[in-house]
Structure 1
Amino acid sequence: MEFSKPRRLALGASGLVAALALAGCSAGGGANDGSELSVYIDSNPSSIALWDALVAGYAEVNPDVTIKVETHPAGGEGDNLIKTRLSTGDMNDMFWYNSGSTLKALNPDKTLVSFVDEEWVGSLDENFIQAVSTEDGLYGAPVGASNAGAMTYNKDIYAELGLEVPTTWDEFMANAQAVTDAGLVGIIQTYGDAWTSQVPVLGDFYNVTAADPEWADQYTAGVAKFADEPALAGFQHLQDAFDAGVLNRDYASATYDDGVRMLAEGEGAHYPMLTQNVAEALGANFADEESSIGVFPIPGDDAASNGLTVWMPNGVYVPQTTEGAKLDAVKEFLAWLVTPESCAIQGSATTLGGPFIVDGCDLPDNAAALVGDMQSYFDEGKTSVALEFLSAIKGPSLEQITVEVGSGIRSAADGAALYDQDVIKQAKQLGLDW
């Protein structure tokens, strides 16, 4: 479940009709010999730019195949359109969609083509494989790079104060206090945009799964709770930061844009945030300061298990209605998508929020410095996927609860217990026997 700021581009009815007319009568459309393929993607401008570049790049190496891009609205409306097309057999030859638990909601074993035996599967990061697989198959090829919920920080402040990157929560809080004592903001928080308050909890999941590898399964079964350790720690971190008095004075009204500005301009040292969001904002508004911003994992209690909580990119999936020569052509395209050549195109067409998750795909020279900081954690296997890739259960009130805990309105224990009650609503909607 995404909690970054949505960006939408409305698709006019005439544009949709024209796209379908070009592709043929059905959504899949095109020639049955595989010379014409279609892909269904969301209508975010960045998504369109990425796919325009990929289609053009593939045409250079395979000019006999034409790939037409059709868009759908982002968010819940797009989710429903995808589910409808799959259920009615009208899905395009392939579609680009979330990996993780939202993919599992599409019942991929019965609706999608499995690629578990394709050679390129061995080049994928294990986190992505986990995010697009069931016990019976593997269903997606990645397009895009990773992202992390972590602690972005100002390297210049660290250098001036002689601070080292912390690997435990106590070390981190000591650094935040040293920054505050120097007259700067120890930890930036931006509860004016409530969605940002979730990062300390969601980004702590590496530490949860390091302490209990079965926690996600137990959580989905209704056994593991946020009110208990190890998951309580994320809420406790919010309380710790407030209690220590190391936040910016305007934490209650400051926005995400304020947070990135404060970090980039050196008003504050730490900002818990998604690396994708920060990388995009730095590139757009603070290019000169970009090299001064780094990232490290949200620390836990054990320095030996310090690692990143990561979000995986979307996958390209193929409905079972794609058959014969069309399926053969799609398979060739998917094999190309997981090559260094494809990754180079992706890196030039979009802002990266993390390393690629395909072997042999290197970061471009213009990647944000914080993305480079993440690479060592991937190389050393010190990453784990966020909870949303392992469980479909996320309560609707998390951001309101985390704002309350982070503002001293509610204790960490009370907030976690309240969230345990909040998630029951979605568990019941999913038909789970809690």
Structure 2
Amino acid sequence: MRMIAAKILTASIASLLAGAAHADVTLTILADTNPESVAFFDALTKAYAEKRPDITFDIESRPGGSEGDNMVKTRLATGEMADIFQYNSGSLFQALKPQQTLADLSGLSNAGHIQESFKAVVTAPDGSLRGAPFGPAMGGGIFYNRKIYADLGLEVPKTWSEFIANSEKIKAAGKVAIAQTYGDTWTSQLFVLADFYNVNAVVPNFAKDYTENRAKYATTPAAAKGFEHLEQTGKAGFFNADFGAAKFDDGMRMVATGEAAHYPMLTFGIGNVAQNFAANLPDLGFFAQPGDDAAKNGLTIWMPSALYVPADAENLEEAKTFLDWMISKEACELMAKTVPSGPYLIKDCQLPANIPQAVSDMLPYFETDGRTAPALEFLSPVKGPALEQITVEVGTGIRSAADAAALYDQDVEKQAKQLGLPNW
């Protein structure tokens, strides 16, 4: 009888443990409001729930820019972060002190599927993997309206002077040459940030010297040009009249529908047009921000954002299990099908056959050696928090390009000291 009772007790415990392993769990997620992110999470959570009916999701939106940065840092510091959160990779990731605040994902069964180029931007100082790629790699450059270009007989510019000449012809034709959207202050940074391929082509050691406090924006002519480009285009009257209040959604609408000819932006904007102005998607083109030399024309690229799990997450193991599926080929190709807006950084993940024109415009840069360079924030942990406010001042004519470059050099000094970097 004792043996039978023991077997019954053992079976009961095993049953309880099995039930506990698949008890109903609600995973909380904090994500940005970009339509592309919304579409991804909708597709991914539905697919995962079919595999795991015991899992439900509660997705909360956060703002972009510095407001969103502050929310992420505050919630991590106070232990109030969601089970999973979406945030930048690269320098902003390092500022989260990942060894202390984020769960180690190195042991996930699918971790080997992540391309090494992405692992490098979500690896903590101790060498551990702390994030999973979310979405495609992006180009930073200039969207353009293909109909306007065709109507005015314009060609895609390979140099900055050609871009200015095109913009002057567009303005002369009575059209908005360049959409700007300072109602979302983060969008004001693109002329500076997307110019890094050109900086790197002229000063290959800039990122290293910048990190070691041996190079500055204000004293490196190639680096200062991004601020000068913004000042030049603002003074030329190329912007839309409401550029101070317009927002990202407005910018994408304007360039897609022909209200504006250009919009400097990251290529994740393709997803916005696909969702909101699908009929205009064939009219949306893209090119890299031109530099001074047509022979050195290339694209500044951004790694995708990442999904992270706080070290003290309420549902730590279930969150890590979800991220393990997220980095599978199956989940990656589901994302690629949902938003085919660029190359994905999961090995063997294929884009669908039919991709938007703007993606077709971007891919040749990735397919040719030497025609892409990572944005500075993926080569250096130094990035000042006030850049978007500084670039708004330049674009609106409040501050000169030279003053802005010097002010940004002061801004990054605070960040470098906070990170404890040597030589600062």
The 2-side partners of 1:141 and 1:81 are apart by 20
Give the 3-state SS of the residue equivalent to 2:221 in structure 1. Answer: coil
The 1-side partners of 2:153 and 2:296 are apart by 24
Deviation at 1:300, TM superposition (A): 1.5
Q: Does residue 1:395 correspond to 2:384, yes or no?
A: yes
Residue identity matched to 1:157: I
Number of equivalences: 393
Q: Is the Cα–Cα contact under 8 Å of residues 189 and 247 in structure 1 kept in the other structure?
A: no
Give the 3-state SS of the residue equivalent to 2:180 in structure 1. Answer: coil
Q: TM-score with structure 2 length normalisation?
A: 0.76
Aligned to 1:411: 400
Residues 132-167 of structure 1: per-residue CA shift (max 9 Å, x gap): 124623333323223333100011122223322222
Aligned to 1:239: 231
Deviation at 1:42, TM superposition (A): 0.4
Q: Is the Cα–Cα contact under 8 Å of residues 31 and 87 in structure 2 kept in the other structure?
A: no
The 2-side partners of 1:223 and 1:249 are apart by 38
Aligned to 1:354: 342
The 2-side partners of 1:321 and 1:397 are apart by 30
Aligned to 2:413: 424
Aligned to 1:15: none
Q: TM-score with structure 1 length normalisation?
A: 0.74
Deviation at 1:128, TM superposition (A): 1.6
After TM superposition, the structure 1 = structure 2 runs for residues 152-231 of structure 1, keeping only pairs within 5 Å, are 152-191=143-182, 193-227=184-218, 228-231=220-223
Unaligned runs of 5+ in 2: 1-17, 63-67
After TM superposition, the structure 1 = structure 2 runs for residues 22-421 of structure 1, keeping only pairs within 5 Å, are 33=21, 39-42=27-30, 44=32, 50-51=40-41, 53-60=43-50, 62-63=51-52, 66-69=54-57, 74=62, 75=68, 76-85=70-79, 96-109=86-99, 123-134=113-124, 136-191=127-182, 193-227=184-218, 228-243=220-235, 245=236, 247-248=238-239, 250=241, 252-253=243-244, 255-256=246-247, 257-277=249-269, 279-281=271-273, 283-284=275-276, 286-317=277-308, 334=323, 336-347=325-336, 351=339, 353-364=341-352, 368-381=356-369, 382-421=371-410
The 2-side partners of 1:408 and 1:218 are apart by 30
The 2-side partners of 1:385 and 1:368 are apart by 23
Residues 179-220 of structure 1: per-residue CA shift (max 9 Å, x gap): 234343333334455433211011112222333344233323
The 2-side partners of 1:111 and 1:254 are apart by 36
Q: Is the Cα–Cα contact under 8 Å of residues 276 and 352 in structure 1 kept in the other structure?
A: no
The 2-side partners of 1:314 and 1:260 are apart by 20
**Alignment CA distance shift 1:251-1:365 (3 Å):** farther
Larger Rg: 2
The 2-side partners of 1:71 and 1:133 are apart by 26
Residues 164-185 of structure 1: per-residue CA shift (max 9 Å, x gap): 2222212222222332343433
- Which segment is superposed worse, 275-284 or 46-55? 46-55
Q: Is the Cα–Cα contact under 8 Å of residues 110 and 325 in structure 2 kept in the other structure?
A: no
**Alignment CA distance shift 1:306-1:67 (3 Å):** farther
Give the 3-state SS of the residue equivalent to 1:269 in structure 2. Answer: strand
Aligned to 1:11: none
Q: Is the Cα–Cα contact under 8 Å of residues 309 and 383 in structure 1 kept in the other structure?
A: yes
Unaligned runs of 5+ in 1: 1-29
Deviation at 1:356, TM superposition (A): 2.0
**Alignment CA distance shift 1:210-1:119 (3 Å):** farther
Q: How many percent of aligned residue pairs carry the same amino acid?
A: 46
Residues 47-75 of structure 1: per-residue CA shift (max 9 Å, x gap): 56644532442354x55x84454556632
**Alignment CA distance shift 1:267-1:423 (3 Å):** same
Residues 386-419 of structure 1: per-residue CA shift (max 9 Å, x gap): 3333444433442333233334444322221222
The 2-side partners of 1:319 and 1:419 are apart by 31
Q: Is the Cα–Cα contact under 8 Å of residues 29 and 83 in structure 2 kept in the other structure?
A: no
Q: Is the Cα–Cα contact under 8 Å of residues 256 and 273 in structure 2 kept in the other structure?
A: no
Give the 3-state SS of the residue equivalent to 1:166 in structure 2. Answer: coil
Residues 13-35 of structure 1: per-residue CA shift (max 9 Å, x gap): xxxxxxxxxxxxxxxxx977588
Residues 214-250 of structure 1: per-residue CA shift (max 9 Å, x gap): 423332333221112321110111133245x350462
Give the 3-state SS of the residue equivalent to 2:285 in structure 1. Answer: strand
